[in-house]
Amino acid sequence: MEREQADKRAIDWGDLRRTRPIGRDFGFDRGHAVDRHYIERFLARHRADIRGRVLEIGDRNYTRRFGADAVQRSDIYDLPRNPAATIKGDLGADANLPIGAFDCVIVPQTLLFIYDLSRAMRSLRAALAPGGVLLATVPGISQIVRENMQHEGDFWRFTDRSLRALAEEAFEPDRIEVSAHGNVLTCVAFLQGLAQEDLAPDELDVDDPDYPLIVTLRARA
């Protein structure tokens, strides 16, 4: 099999020749985090799914931004320490989610913090009403989230295949859509703590499945 020929010219590493990142705040201290570009692009593409009774992990940010008038009721799900949560539980343990209640469940950047992924996916599937949709995003190539590592834990990074296999434990295979987003440049930028503003739009919009910064899941009950 032919392999691509590497460019063997000398590389000018510039500001990237360092063993410590430019920033450790995921780019938030410079502007908008690079991974959010793919998360928000995914939710924008599936805004029609964000309707009826919607559950979102952590807050209502994406429900408000992408659901608008189609949302009849909005709930927040989180651990008991979140005072804004309208439903409290632990997806990896006692989920405490009502069965068959939600038309859409939005789970952004959450599954990496849950050790028992199979239990979490089954709980999310059970919470969906017939025809309901799960919209989830997970990290592919990413630094450790140190704050979470020191509390509930930071356990996983994903490929499109591993996320699909996880979803197939609870959903029918033909009701699952998984996609990888990002490229080598956006992964490097994210790992260095750079922001969307440090990249050009055409650099952000290239997807290379071998370098997934974000992996997305749309699954229908």
The whole-number pLDDT of residue 102 equals 98
Q: 3-class DSSP state for residue 102?
A: strand
Homologous superfamily of 23-220 = Vaccinia Virus protein VP39 (3.40.50.150)
Which strands sit side by side in the sheet containing 214-220, from one edge to the other?
87-88, 71-78, 52-57, 102-108, 128-139, 214-220, 176-181
**CB of 89 within 8 A of CB of 100?**
no
Neighbours of 31 (CB within 10 A): 12
Q: 3-class DSSP state for residue 157?
A: coil
The whole-number pLDDT of residue 10 equals 85
Whole-angstrom distance, CA of residue 21 vs CA of residue 189: 10
The whole-number pLDDT of residue 2 equals 55
Q: Which helix (H) or strand (E) holds 77?
A: strand 71-78
Domain chopping of the chain, boundaries: 23-220
Q: 11-67 pLDDT, tens per residue?
A: 899 999 999 999 999 999 999 999 999 999 999 999 999 999 999 999 999 999 999
Give CA angle at 128 (91, 117), nearest 5°. 30
The whole-number pLDDT of residue 9 equals 79
Low-confidence ranges of the chain (pLDDT < 50): 1
The whole-number pLDDT of residue 68 equals 82
Whole-angstrom distance, CA of residue 214 vs CA of residue 152: 21
The whole-number pLDDT of residue 1 equals 46
């990002």: which residue's tokens?
182
């959010």: which residue's tokens?
36
Q: What is the pTM of this model?
A: 0.94
Read off the DSSP letter of residue 86.
S
Q: Where are the alpha helices (DSSP H) in the chain?
A: 34-45, 61-67, 117-127, 146-149, 160-167, 184-191, 201-204
